[in-house]
């Protein structure tokens, strides 16, 4: 897979004002919300590029990103799903990246599940938690080591939330329906 920095540069070069974290969060939200057909791509174009297609090279990488997200989420046994955040060691840059990822994840999830605000229980609480993560705050005076540790814990929690949404909203496969003869 392309590096985070390279993908960011490709997005910027195509005039797309999202970061790789934001696009990853958006696509992850669509997938976790149950979108399994090609409508994900139309939504990406609509919400990230004024309804215009991506240049071929960027489209190829975006489709690869989509496939990777789907594969990682589907592999529940290994819990391979990872958030694509800035690779920088600067904890403040990573915290901002997580906040942006969560914001765009909620956008994608909301597009896939238009009645998301009606969810209760564990799902409703997870949605509220993501809203809080979108407003993730920190102070420049915060201890970077403590902040990094807290950030890593939040990232793990968000990975868990994504898996929860994926299993909750994924459409039931026809194989689970009884066959009538």
Instruction: For residue range 47-87, list pLDDT tens digits in order.
Output: 999 999 999 999 999 999 999 999 999 998 888 999 999 98
Over 70: is that where the pLDDT of 178 sits? no
> What DSSP character marks residue 142?
S
- How far apart (Å, rounded) are the C-alpha atoms in residues 171 and 153? 30
Could you tell me if residue 108 is inside a domain? yes
Residue with tokens 């898996």: 163
Q: Count of domains in the chain? A: 1
Could you tell me if residue 52 is inside a domain? yes
Q: Look up the pTM and report it.
A: 0.90
- Residue 133: how many CB atoms within 10 A of its CB? 21
CB 133 within 8 A of CB 80: no
Any idea what the CATH number is for the domain that residue 141 is in?
A: 1.20.120.740
Q: Where are the alpha helices (DSSP H) in 20-90?
A: 20-32, 39-48, 56-74
Mean pLDDT for the chain? 90
Could you tell me if residue 7 is inside a domain? no
Hey, what's the torsion of the CAs at 60, 62, 65, 66, to 10 degrees? Answer: -100
Q: Label residue 138 by pLDDT band (50, 70, 90).
A: confident
User: Following DSSP, what letter does each residue of 2-39 receive, concatenated?
Assistant: --HHHHHHHHHHTT----HHHHHHHHHHHHHTT--STH
Closest of 29, 11, 28 to residue 20, by C-alpha: 11
Over 60: is that where the pLDDT of 179 sits? no
Residue 143: domain span: 18-169
Could you tell me if residue 117 is inside a domain? yes
Over 70: is that where the pLDDT of 92 sits? yes
Helices 91-112 + 121-134 axis angle, to 10:
140
Could you tell me if residue 24 is inside a domain? yes
- Residue 6: how many CB atoms within 10 A of its CB? 12
Could you tell me if residue 5 is inside a domain? no
Over 90: is that where the pLDDT of 161 sits? yes
Could you tell me if residue 11 is inside a domain? no
Over 90: is that where the pLDDT of 174 sits? no
Could you tell me if residue 178 is inside a domain? no
């Amino acid at each position: 897979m392309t590096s985070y920095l390279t993908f960011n540069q490709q997005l910027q070069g195509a005039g797309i004002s999202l970061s790789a974290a934001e696009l990853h969060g958006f696509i992850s939200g669509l997938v976790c919300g149950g979108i399994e057909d090609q409508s994900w791509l139309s939504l990406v174009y609509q919400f990230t590029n004024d309804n215009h297609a991506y240049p071929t090279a960027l489209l190829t990488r975006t489709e690869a990103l989509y496939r990777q997200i789907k594969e990682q989420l589907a592999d529940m046994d290994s819990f391979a799903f990872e958030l694509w955040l800035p690779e920088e060691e600067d904890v403040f840059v990573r915290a901002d990246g997580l906040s942006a990822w969560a914001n765009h994840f909620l956008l994608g999830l909301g597009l896939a599940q238009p009645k998301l605000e009606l969810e209760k229980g564990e799902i409703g609480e997870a949605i509220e938690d993501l809203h809080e993560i979108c407003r993730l705050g920190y102070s420049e005076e915060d201890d970077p080591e403590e902040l990094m540790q807290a950030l890593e814990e939040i990232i793990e929690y968000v990975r868990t939330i994504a898996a929860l949404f994926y299993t909750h909203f994924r459409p039931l496969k026809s194989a689970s329906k009884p066959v009538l003869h």
